[in-house]
Chain A
Amino acid sequence: TQLLEQSPQFLSIQEGENLTVYCNSSSVFSSLQWYRQEPGEGPVLLVTVVTGGEVKKLKRLTFQFGDARKDSSLHITAAQPGDTGLYLCAGYEAGTALIFGKGTTLSVSS
């Protein structure tokens, strides 16, 4: 069974700080997705990375897929209170359902 280890589990920072969330596995994924979820709402897809070494930017968010497609990171620059939420990484192996990491709960205070 593939596992995705996500760290840190909880993160509480001040507005304006930078942060990085990590998603690691011992297995290779054909693609990896990052979601953000606010309390009481469904996860919202932020990005999908497919190619090893790929870097994608979404405003202040930078996503990277490891060269070996076993790990990924999400970096947020100058965090804002609106970034608060549960961040989930999820990986696909061909022929299986989406595998989720345990999530990172981010709290950004002003």
Chain B
Amino acid sequence: DTEVTQTPKHLVMGMTNKKSLKCEQHMGHRAMYWYKQKAKKPPELMFVYSYEKLSINESVPSRFSPECPNSSLLNLHLHALQPEDSALYLCASSQVFTVPYEQYFGPGTRLTVT
């Protein structure tokens, strides 16, 4: 099973709202990732968690706050977003970070900020 699940599938939020995106994998992977993707562009890395610790933050604005409660779960907390933050948010996982194992992606959350 190489499934990464993400909820919700779609999310519409106002600029003053607080919401969270959730990601889950049960492959025993110890590296989890958040990406942001605009239409017809490649995914842009936002955060990397390795063994539940934040390893990489690609200078992401503080209105995005990641959290890794355990090795299977990854959350992305959203607050005071801007319309330009509207995008497809992808979660991915791999066995470990820093070694070239394959990354498996979830289906994404389509976020619209109004």
If A102-B42, A103-B40 touch, does A40 touch B108 (CB 8 Å cutoff)? yes
Candidates B48, B88, B102; contact of A97 at CB < 8 Å: B48
Complex-state Cα separation, A94 to B96, whole angstroms: 12
Candidates A40, A44, A88, A94; contact of B99 at CB < 8 Å: A94
Complex-state Cα separation, A53 to B112, whole angstroms: 44
Interface centre among A31, A44, A92, A95, by most chain B C-beta atoms within 10 angstroms, is A92
Interface size of B in residues (CB-CB distance below 8 Å): 26
Q: Identify which of residues 51-84 in chain A touch chain B, using a CB-to-CB cut-off of 8 Å.
A: none
Q: Find out whether the CB atom of B107 lies under 8 angstroms from the CB atom of A42.
A: yes
Interface size of A in residues (CB-CB distance below 8 Å): 26
Q: Find out whether the CB atom of A42 lies under 8 angstroms from the CB atom of B42.
A: no
Q: Find out whether the CB atom of B40 lies under 8 angstroms from the CB atom of A105.
A: yes
**A-B CB contacts (within 8 Å), total count:** 55
Q: Find out whether the CB atom of A42 lies under 8 angstroms from the CB atom of B106.
A: yes
Interface string of B80-114 (1 = CB under 8 A from A): 00000000101010000111101111111010000
Q: Does B43 contact A (CB under 8 A)?
A: yes
Q: Does B27 contact A (CB under 8 A)?
A: no
Q: Find out whether the CB atom of B102 lies under 8 angstroms from the CB atom of A44.
A: no
If A40-B88, A40-B110, A97-B48 touch, does A33 touch B102 (CB 8 Å cutoff)? yes
- Nearest to A100 among chain B residues (CB) is B42
Q: Find out whether the CB atom of A42 lies under 8 angstroms from the CB atom of B90.
A: yes
25 A–B pairs (Cβ distance < 8 Å), ordered by A: A33-B103, A40-B108, A41-B107, A42-B92, A42-B108, A43-B43, A44-B105, A45-B2, A45-B104, A45-B105, A50-B100, A88-B43, A90-B103, A92-B100, A94-B98, A96-B98, A97-B33, A97-B45, A97-B56, A98-B103, A100-B42, A100-B43, A102-B41, A103-B40, A105-B40
The chain A residues found within 8 Å of chain B, CB to CB, are 30-31, 33, 35, 40-45, 48, 50, 86, 88, 90, 92, 94-98, 100-103, 105
Name 5 extra pairs, CB < 8 A, besides A88-B43, A100-B42: A33-B102, A35-B105, A41-B107, A42-B90, A42-B105
